[in-house]
Each structure stands twice: as structure tokens, then as C-alpha cells.
Amino acid sequence: MISRLVLLGATGDLAGRFLMPALAGLHADGLLPDGFRVTGASQEDWDGPTFVRHVEARLEAHAADVPAAARQALLGGLDHRTVDLEDAATVAAAVASGGPVAVYLALPPGLFMTALRALREAGLPPGSRVVVEKPFGEDLDSAVALNALLAEVAEGLGAQAVFRVDHVLGMPTVRDLLGLRAPGAVLEPVWSSAHVAQVDVLWEETLALEGRADFYDRAGAVKDVVQNHVLQLLALVAMELPGERDLRETKLEALRAVRALSPDEVAARTRRGRYTAGRLAGAGAQVPDYGQERGVDAARGTETYVELVLELDLPRWAGTRFVLRAGKALAAGRKGVVLHFHGPAGAPPGRLWIGFDGAQDAAPAGGTDGSPLAPVPLLVPPPPVQGERAAYTAVLRDVLSGGSTLSVSGEESEQAWRVVEPVLQAWAGGASPLVEYVAGSPGPPLLEPARR
């Protein structure tokens, strides 16, 4: 197990909200090796004690439920190095080690290539790993370039040297999804187009921008969550069970089978929307039109809602529609899958909700039907720590132990761009005009109702 982690971008939000709390949790569970150390690397001209105080405050804010002894154990193994990503020598000094080291790029995506070029010059000991976060590029060409540079950095480090993080794969209830359709499980006999007319894959949020305008306005819903989270979920639903094969291989087969949409199909089978002024769900704040949010350039036409209707060239799913929906400032926060079953003649179809975010039931978006769906019970009780922190705990354990179950392969990222890039290109040409929906509402009307 790797006993040293270098965090590039250690003073940022990802490190403070998720990575450090997850490491403290691993300490509490006794899942880190003796002598485990974290080197925080950032542009701040801080000494070690200043960094420790910073991390201590973040742990108090985001990991107060972790025993104090575990938090102190993590703090006792911290140090800090000031780095300039344009100066490979400073990066080399931060990663210098007598043995394998995991280097986690907790950085804005725009700095990935700069950081990786510095790591290529610095060189890493055999057995080391390089960890990058989604998004993996901003289009297919940049994803290919990122993969090529990662391969150069990883040369000579071993077959599992690159770890691409999509934290949705670490969510406990997402990992339970495979068990629901395993041989002998309750859903295994009906997991095919013979029984399922439509599969909805949902990533719907009640939040608006939450201070992320600088990133989000250049990305939009497709690049932010569909190209990565949502297509990873689709792959887990649609793939054959891996058996003795690598999980990434079976996901890749499913992604290869997704039919890319033609320009005419984009116009008919996609919808993009943007929220207008309204009050966020629950006790949420009043928000302005998206185009008037601070940091937004309204002329970009960035979408905050997307719906895509796709089909897969797989025998198991011949004739089944896969409907992907993601959006911000919606009436309900739902992350999960809805199975729409063929109903008997003269009877309405059944629907089953498989939630990944603690929701007990769900109804279709767009205000078309408010009836709840039957939830599928979890195979095991949910862990006490849900959500993103639990996901990052699983991811970091996989990274440090040398595993790759929760890593996305380079070709998976490229196949995902193959699917969404024609949509983005057609939208840029005027296909599927932007529609508006009130913040806090269910969103735009759906493209089509579920099959009856």
C-alpha cells in the first residue's frame, strides 16, 4: 500500500471538503499504513504549521463526526511544499520520495496539462500513481491529448499508474447496483428489453451555481455531469456483468454501443434549458436569471438542463430507450435510475426507482406525473457517511491500495466524448433552441412520455 500522498492544490475546496475528511475517516477505520504522510503542495507561501492549522479548520467544518484522535493522527503526518506548476523543479521537490507516491491533482482542469508536464520532467519512482479528476478534457481532441500525456508520465511506473476519478463510482449505492442484477437477485430476470421499455438516468439538483460560475458557465450540464457521471451510470446499467473480466472493460463495451446522434436526431431527441429567476426548492434562496448570475456570460448560451434520448446497439437492450436527464435549480434533487417496464395488455406499466442519493422515491421530471415510484431496497444498510465524502473514501482507498475498480479508463473517457460531442456541435449550430424554466420548478416538459 502506498504510504505517501502528494496533493497538488492542497489548499483548494476539493482537498478541504472531501479528500482530507476522507483520509481522516480512513485513519479512524485503521485503513491507512503505518507512517502514512500527506504532502500538501500549493502556490501559497506557507510553512508546515500554517498548513496544519488550515487543514485542522477544514476537518472541524467537514469531518466533525470523525474521532478527534483520527483527525490528530492525520494532522501529525502533514507537511507543505510551495510549488509553481510552471517550474518543474518545485514540483519535483514536492514529490521527491524514496518509494512509491500517489500524486493527486486536486486542481482546476485548466491546470492539468501544466501539472502533468511538470511531473513528466520530475519523474516518479516505480509503483507510483497519478490521479486526475473529471472532466477528462473539454472535447474529444483534448481528451486524447490528456491521455497521451498521462501515458508519458506513467511510462515505467506500472500498468495501473494512472487513476482517473469519477467519484460517482465510489458512491456506496452505485456500487450496490451490480448486486441488484447479479445471478439470483430479484431484478436479474427482468434486466433486458424484453421487460424494460425505457431507462431514465437522472442527475437532478436543487442547487444553482453555488459559487462555481467561472467553471460552470464554460462547461454547462453536458460537460459538467453528463459526459462523466451520467454516462458512467448508463454504462453500469447497460453492461453485461463483468465476471472475471475487468469492470472497466465491460463498461467500455456498453459505451461503445451507444449510438451517436446525427444532427437531425439531435434536434428531435435532445432538449436543453436554462433556469430563470425563482426560489430554489425547500428553504432555498431566491436566485436571478441564470444569465444574470455573477460570473456568467449570458451570450454563451450555457445550458443548466439537458435531456438526451439514446439507444444502444446491444442485444440485451434492443428497442429500449435510455433517457438521460441532468439539471440545476430543479424542484427535487434526484440521482438514480428509473426502470419503466412493459405493462400487460390494457394495464399501465410498472416503474421502479433505484436511488443513489438517499431518496426513497421519485416521480418523472417536467411536471408530467407526480405519483411516486416503488423504490428498490438497498442490498445492505446504507453507511453512516453518505454522499461525496463516502465516495472519496472509497476512491482514496482504491488509489492507495493499487486498485483500479473505481478508475475510469482512458478509452472510456474518449467514448463518452464521442457520444456527447455531436450534440454539442449541433447545439452550437442552432439545433434544439434553449428553453427556459423557473428556478425551483420541475424543469421543462419532457421530450416524450414513457412508453405505455
Q: Give me the residue spans of the domains in the chain.
A: 4-165, 169-384+410-438
Contact 451, 373 (CB under 8 A): no
Contact 295, 214 (CB under 8 A): yes
Q: Which CATH number fits domain 4-165: 3.40.50.10790, 3.30.1340.10, 3.40.50.720, 3.50.30.10?
A: 3.40.50.720
Between CA 17 and CA 304 the distance in angstroms is: 24
Between CA 216 and CA 212 the distance in angstroms is: 6
Q: What is the pLDDT along the chain (452 residues), one digit of tens a residue?
A: 999 999 999 999 999 999 999 999 999 999 999 999 999 999 999 999 999 999 999 999 999 999 999 999 999 999 999 999 999 999 999 999 879 999 999 999 999 999 999 999 999 999 999 999 999 999 999 999 999 999 999 998 987 899 999 999 998 888 888 888 899 998 999 999 999 999 999 999 999 998 889 889 999 999 999 999 999 999 999 999 998 789 999 999 999 999 999 999 999 999 999 999 999 998 889 999 999 999 999 999 999 999 999 999 999 999 999 999 999 999 999 999 999 999 776 555 689 999 886 544 444 444 334 444 445 443 333 444 457 889 999 999 999 999 999 999 999 999 999 999 999 999 999 999 999 999 999 999 988 654 43
Contact 322, 234 (CB under 8 A): yes
Residue written as grid cell 518545485: 90
Q: Which CATH superfamily is domain 169-384+410-438 in?
A: Dihydrodipicolinate Reductase; domain 2 (3.30.360.10)
Q: Are strands 334-341 and 351-355 parallel, antiparallel or unpaired?
A: antiparallel
Alpha-helix runs per DSSP H in 63-131: 68-75, 88-95, 112-122
For the chain, state the CA radius of gyration: 22
